[in-house]
């Protein structure tokens, strides 16, 4: 039996979520559009400028000549460099990197996934081997392998594809997926492969690796990689040092949704939010998105009251309309993790002692809920 897909079975341009949105009331549609605006906003931080400066340095290097006595040519290019971006899970490093790539003047307006882009973005799968990584690079260049090849042949095709596609930068996101479980010999093979990509005489590329802090350790263990690398680490949030910036983030995102915030946000909400977010910027933004959705309290369905129902009001009312409160964060956190009040850092008096679920758990829960409501976006 053939396992080929029937191309006529579905319209690739059709949006399958249309029917799911058709049930919404007029108010529900307005709220959904407002949530999309909130989630579509990118909240800047001082690290954005650092990342832009480092990317500019990488791009400039890609345009330099190896031999200044000779004219510019495909083969007279300086060896590649490595940009290493690390941070804990939920720090927002992937979204920061992708936004920096899209906003850079040398790349702005280009489709990074398109065939004409000088950048190849590879999401490293888990688990991953060197051979699988090579297949992922080929797929990202628009050349998926349909048959099995030996590892060395896979990477031979990778180098050929990068050359023919005029690719100058290869991004490996979530690089820890390949570096954390391989033995020493396999790790050395990964290092050697990267070195070959950046100093290959036929075609040289620069590399951006993004992932957990151990990715930096992987680069540091090889002196040849280390001397070609520049390192950026996204620090975790601290209390009280980052209370003010967190308060500003919440206030400005709330304003997008036409909400105001409580007056004591910097002293009461901000430290609780930092703790609930596992001290990670991206998680703090995701929790704020959830709290804003709770504060809007949209009547998505506008169901008619049935004759057999008695209306006693809303016992879950958590704050005045138009105001984002600590209670909205508490309700949102409870909805994401199903915790009790004693386990909820936005409710408990001893919130600083509460052991918080990992950032991945919170982000996955938020992502699942956003998929259900149709309001996508936010930190990654």
Looking at the DSSP assignment, which residues form a beta bridge with residue 232?
A: 85
Tell me the pLDDT tens digit for each residue of 148-202. 999 999 999 999 999 999 999 999 999 999 988 788 999 999 999 999 999 998 9
In angstroms, rounded to a whole number, what is the distance separating the alpha carbons of residues 377 and 363?
12
Q: How far from the centroid of its chain's Cα atoms is residue 213's Cα?
A: 16
The candidate with the shortest Cα–Cα distance to 138, out of 118, 116, 154, 119, is 154
> Beta strands of 158-258 (E only): which ranges?
169-173, 206-211, 229-234
**DSSP, residue by residue, 38-97:** HHH-----HHHHHHHHHHHHHHHHHTS-S-TTS---SSS-PPP-EEEEEE-TTS-HHHHH
**pTM for the complete prediction?**
0.86
Helix (H, G, I), strand (E, B) or coil at 109: coil
What's the full length of the chain, in residues?
A: 380
User: CA distances (Å), 290 to each of 203, 222, 279, 293, 375, in order?
Assistant: 46, 43, 17, 5, 10
The fraction of the chain above a pLDDT of 90, given in percent, is: 71
> Beta strands of the chain (E only): which ranges?
82-87, 119-123, 169-173, 206-211, 229-234, 260-261, 323-324
Which of 143-152, 219-228, 366-375 has the lowest average pLDDT? Answer: 366-375
In angstroms, rounded to a whole number, what is the distance separating the alpha carbons of residues 68 and 190?
31
Tell me the pLDDT tens digit for each residue of 309-339. 776 665 454 455 789 999 999 999 999 999 9
45 contacts: CB under 8 Å, gap ≥ 6: 245, 281
In angstroms, rounded to a whole number, what is the distance separating the alpha carbons of residues 155 and 160?
9
């Amino acid at each position: 039996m053939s396992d080929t897909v029937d191309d006529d079975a579905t319209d690739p341009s059709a949006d399958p979520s249309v029917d799911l949105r058709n049930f919404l009331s007029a108010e529900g549609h307005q709220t959904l559009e407002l949530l999309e605006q909130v989630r579509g906003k990118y909240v800047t931080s001082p690290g954005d400028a650092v990342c832009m400066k480092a990317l500019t340095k990488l791009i400039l290097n890609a345009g330099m000549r190896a031999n200044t006595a000779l004219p510019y040519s495909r083969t007279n290019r300086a060896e590649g460099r490595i940009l290493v971006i690390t941070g804990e899970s939920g720090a927002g490093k992937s979204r920061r990197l992708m936004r920096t790539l899209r906003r850079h003047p040398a790349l702005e307006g280009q489709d990074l996934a398109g065939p004409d882009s000088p950048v190849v973005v590879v999401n490293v799968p888990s688990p991953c081997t060197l051979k699988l990584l090579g297949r992922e690079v080929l797929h990202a260049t628009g050349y998926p392998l349909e048959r099995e090849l030996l590892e060395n042949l896979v990477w031979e095709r990778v180098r050929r594809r990068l050359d023919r596609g005029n690719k100058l930068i290869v991004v490996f996101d979530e690089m820890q997926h390949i570096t954390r479980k391989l033995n020493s010999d396999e790790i050395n093979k990964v290092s050697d492969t990267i070195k070959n990509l950046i100093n290959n005489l036929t075609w040289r590329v620069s590399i951006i690796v993004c992932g957990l802090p151990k990715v930096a350790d992987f680069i540091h263990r090889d002196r040849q990689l280390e001397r070609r690398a520049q390192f950026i680490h996204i620090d975790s949030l601290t209390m009280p040092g980052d209370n003010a910036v967190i308060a500003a983030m919440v206030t400005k995102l709330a304003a997008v949704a036409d909400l105001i915030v409580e007056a004591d946000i910097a002293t009461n909400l901000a430290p609780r939010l930092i703790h609930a977010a596992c001290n990670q910027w991206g998680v703090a933004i995701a929790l704020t998105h959830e709290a804003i959705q709770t504060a809007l309290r949209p009547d998505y369905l506008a169901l008619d009251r049935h004759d057999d129902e008695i209306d006693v009001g809303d016992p879950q009312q958590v704050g005045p309309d138009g105001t984002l409160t600590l209670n909205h964060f508490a309700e949102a956190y409870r909805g994401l993790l199903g915790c009790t009040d004693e386990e909820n850092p936005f409710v408990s008096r001893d919130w600083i002692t509460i052991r918080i679920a990992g950032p991945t758990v919170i982000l996955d829960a938020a992502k699942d809920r956003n998929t259900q409501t149709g309001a996508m976006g936010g930190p990654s």
